[in-house]
Chains A and B, each alone.
Chain A
């Protein structure tokens, strides 16, 4: 056995040497893309106007987006519109991925043609990874409220919404408050979009439950307790709600962003009476974040995508999907907003709550330890 031991040792030694090499990331490939003018442009004027940007983007011909589900904030339509308008092919990877998956993919595919060009991230993931973004200020930059963007343009909020309860009106009575969901009529019917320790939407769902049950943004334990009670009452449905489960009637009540629930209702019009309510005095809001990858293989197309998203057209497309675009106020003032869609957004009562960073951190800690216990 002495020999095999010796060989094992040799193998281990070889491995550690190799490991030392692996530990450092592979060198970045010098690509034409990362040195192009577009990659350095921080605004459209750096390239000599929108026409020049369009020209450069068309030359690249492609755009890689990631984690954009077609039924999320109208992304299906947005991608189609962008493609039609500029003739640029949009490669939509892993539509179902999480924000962290976007960052992981960008790291794993670094230097590849398939690496993501642009990100659509939750605030927490974005602020942890700002070093991966290329700053860029869109033409409509001034319309975005200062609180909703990084001063250098490293990231910008894109669209947001409020936590809501979507429900099949033919199966359950309209819930007025979060606490209503504990009633026996909701037995085995209430689903939450994801695991709050993993998905941003579900996280905000727990915050909403906390607000609706006398908790606050500083203490979400009441929200976790609420889901514990929901589970004990047999009302909580541990199913990941998707358009399939809603359509087939498996998840008659879904706690999710209002824009997703509204879009669901629009999609099912005529088939199902899917309604959306933002519970009173439990209004939790959150914006997603838009950023360009520093290593974008198609830097011009990435910037053109941003220009498109923040144009009136792009903003109205988000609005069409029930999301509240970041320029909504400015556009309402200028009269360029899609009034019909704007009017259809669910009404809210009470001051919306946006969690601050320390509040978020505290809430996460509480969730990590207690969530599995509450619903397990």
Chain B
């Protein structure tokens, strides 16, 4: 038995490294190419000009004002979307679990609904809604927060729902209610700290999604990082590629950090249910 297991382990290792290497090349090649592209100088030389400019934020904003606006808008959208998603979802999901279990299926269904409605479709229907949003709140790019919250709903819901399933919300709530805590206190002080890692992973998914969003911003005539980068690609290809690569690497580092903070626990995915 032991020999079989060892032989299998060796076979699996060989298989593992073959697959990882092959796919690794496929996935790293474009990233390497991006790096090579951004460092191309005239006549086959290499230069770091683009990267120097990218690091120099003040200079960058002056050279490419649209890019600076796009980046600023995207960061604002990220913060607001994370806030709105959590504010909307955490109390609702907790409340439904505690007081309205009959609604649980409905809430789940609604939260997952955006998966069946592609962003390009949503944007078609959002145009008249946004005419009203503009009327009440102005035409700022930050109003896209509402649409983005819809987009992240399925992922954030999965994450938070899984987090809540892992703890005994009811007991916790009963205990704190019996000690005289208000509902707000229960959610804010008792439940939230217990599902911290789920909330964190929901927040991260939101960050990744909002930073990468192009469809809605572009078709609702508002600027964000991706729209600005796409525009920049038509006038300064190297800079746009450099910004793309930076955003990609930043997101990767963020997710790595999260996986370390989360202690290697499984993160939410579409597959993970109940």
Contact = CB atoms under 8 A, between A and B. Distances in A.
Nearest to A25: B131
B217 to A, nearest CB: 11
A96 B231 contact: yes
B237 A108 contact: no
Contacts of A111: 134-135
A112 B139 contact: yes
A104 B221 contact: yes
B134 A112 contact: yes
B102 interface: yes
Nearest to B40: A248
A171 to B, nearest CB: 17
Contacts of A242: 234-235
Interface of B: 102-103, 105-106, 109, 127-132, 134-135, 138-139, 220-221, 231, 233-237
B106 A4 contact: yes
A96 B106 CA distance: 43
Interface string A22-34: 1101110100000
Contacts of A25: 128, 131
A105 B220 CA distance: 8
A244 B235 contact: yes
A108 B233 contact: no
B103 A97 contact: no
Given A94-B221, A96-B234, A97-B221, A107 B131 contact: yes
A112 B179 CA distance: 51
A82 to B, nearest CB: 18
Interface in A15-51: 22-23, 25-27, 29
Contacts of B139: 108-109, 112, 114-115
Interface in A62-118: 93-97, 101, 104-105, 107-112, 114-115
Nearest to A93: B221
Residue from B102, B127, B235 with most neighbouring chain A CB atoms (10 Å): B235
A3 interface: yes
B132 A26 contact: yes
Contact of B236 (A3, A107, A110, A244): A244
Q: Is the interface of B mostly helix, strand, loop or mixed?
A: helix
Interface of A: 3-4, 7-8, 22-23, 25-27, 29, 93-97, 101, 104-105, 107-112, 114-115, 240, 242-244, 248
A8 B134 contact: no
Contacts of B236: 244
Nearest to B105: A4
Contacts of A243: 234-235
A108 B235 contact: no
30 contacts: A3-B102, A4-B102, A4-B105, A4-B106, A7-B103, A7-B106, A8-B106, A22-B128, A22-B129, A23-B128, A25-B131, A26-B131, A26-B132, A26-B134, A96-B231, A97-B221, A101-B221, A104-B127, A108-B127, A108-B131, A108-B220, A112-B134, A112-B138, A112-B139, A115-B139, A242-B234, A243-B234, A244-B234, A244-B235, A244-B237
B130 A108 contact: yes
Nearest to B104: A4
A29 B137 CA distance: 12
Nearest to A244: B237
B106 to A, nearest CB: 5
Contacts of A26: 131-132, 134-135
A96 B221 CA distance: 11
A234 B259 CA distance: 48
Contacts of A97: 221
Contacts of A240: 234
A93 B237 CA distance: 20
Q: Considering residues B102, B129, B130, B131, which has the most beta carbons from chain A within 10 angstroms of its beta carbon?
A: B131
B235 to A, nearest CB: 6
